[in-house]
Amino acid sequence: MPELPEVETVRAGIAEHVLGFVIESVQVHDARSVRRHLGGATDFEEALSGAFIVDAARRGKYLWLLLADSARGDASAFLALVIHLGMSGQVLIKEPHFEQEKHLKITVNLRTPQNQQLQMRFVDQRIFGGMFLDSLLPTVDGSGTEVAAASSSELGLALIPQAVAHIARDPLDPHFSYDQVRAKMLKTSSGIKRLLLDQSVISGVGNIYADEALWLAKIHYKKPAKTLTAAQTRILLDAVTGVMQEALVAGGTSFDALYVNVNGQSGYFDRSLNAYGQAGKPCSRCRKEDRTSIIVREPFMNRSSYRCPHCQRAPRGI
């Protein structure tokens, strides 16, 4: 279940392996994996041929390859190959002779500067993810000012695909604004976890890290966002940032072998989870304080929420 740390691991892997390569051709094996692309899978295949990969960028759970139609990198001609991993998406870089994966959906045939052939493969069992080509817009910082690219290596920060423009900045973004998140929290009647999962408020957070951050901050998922104090909000957002940074160092969380990084290696952060998926197990914080409480799983938004019934008490009236 890729969240921000997993997507960042994939982005970094792509950046390390395929920058400067040319897309020779593309084969879409399942048209459902090409999303919101006008012209459909055939146009998608044709439009990508001949493009140069100049950067790999990310916001929240969206990542994209910055493409130029010549190696010179004429900024007016940039396009984005947007990738969302959904629930089970993987990006694999392999030599062409490697056996096809069972759920291979899209093959991008690459030629390296050394004139060798490589493939970037998009594999996705549940088909919640996909790819599409998109135009790019200038990004703005917290005050609405356009972000300038001081060098060609910063173009990934200064441009954003049109379809990703509505996604809020994530906690690892240099322009992430605590005040903007806080302002949105005060304007809604929704519970705090609903906001953490709302990608237009704060991006990159999924069910796993939302539960982990709420456990760390000792906050119940249904607590109305506007009732959090400024101090609680700060602790919670610091916890979100913290679990993401930790997971990033560990290479991303993995639970069912559906997620692997760009080289096909699974993450291992799942061993340090405190709440998510821990139903029936004792709360580790309570145990340190010589108290026994058992993590519970509760239905929430057609999925599950995990919490410690002692550390994360239900707000009055819930």
Partner DNA sequence: AGCTTAACCTGAGAGC
Partner DNA sequence: TGCTCTCAGGTTAAGC
Residues in 152-181 that interact with DNA by CB under 7 A: 163
The percent helix, strand, coil of the chain (3-state, each to 5) is 30, 25, 45
213 binds DNA (CB under 7 A): no
Under the phi-then-psi rule, with left for phi > 0, alpha for psi from -120 to 50, and beta for the rest, what region is 20? left
For 247, the 3-state DSSP assignment is helix
Which residues, listed in sequence order, are joined to residue 299 by a DSSP beta bridge?
304
CB atoms within 10 A of CB 260: 20
Closest by Cα among 53, 85, 100, 22 to 261: 85
CB atoms within 10 A of CB 318: 11
Smallest separation (angstroms) from DNA to the CB of 153: 26
Smallest separation (angstroms) from DNA to the CB of 20: 28
Closest by Cα among 66, 65, 68 to 77: 68
CA distance 158 to 148: 6
130 binds DNA (CB under 7 A): no
Q: How far is CA 315 from CA 166, 190, 215, 224, 274, in A?
A: 31, 13, 15, 9, 21
3 vs 55 by CB, closer to DNA: 3
For 294, the 3-state DSSP assignment is strand
Annotated active-site residue in 72, 102, 288, 303: 303
| Residue 248-267 contact track with DNA, rule CB under 7 A, x = bound | --------x-----------
Residues in 98-117 that interact with DNA by CB under 7 A: 102-103
Annotated active-site residue in 11, 58, 59, 61: 61
Smallest separation (angstroms) from DNA to the CB of 69: 26
Active site residue 3: yes
Q: How many residues bind DNA (CB under 7 A)?
A: 34
Stretch that binds DNA, among 138-146, 151-159, 246-254, 300-308 (CB under 7 A): 300-308
Identity of residue 134 = D
Active site residue 303: yes
Stretch that binds DNA, among 41-49, 69-77, 205-213, 231-239 (CB under 7 A): 205-213
**Residues of this chain that bind DNA (CB under 7 A):** 1-3, 32, 60-62, 84, 86-87, 102-103, 125-128, 163, 187-190, 194, 197, 199, 206-208, 256, 276, 297, 301-304
Residues with a known catalytic role: 2-3, 61, 303
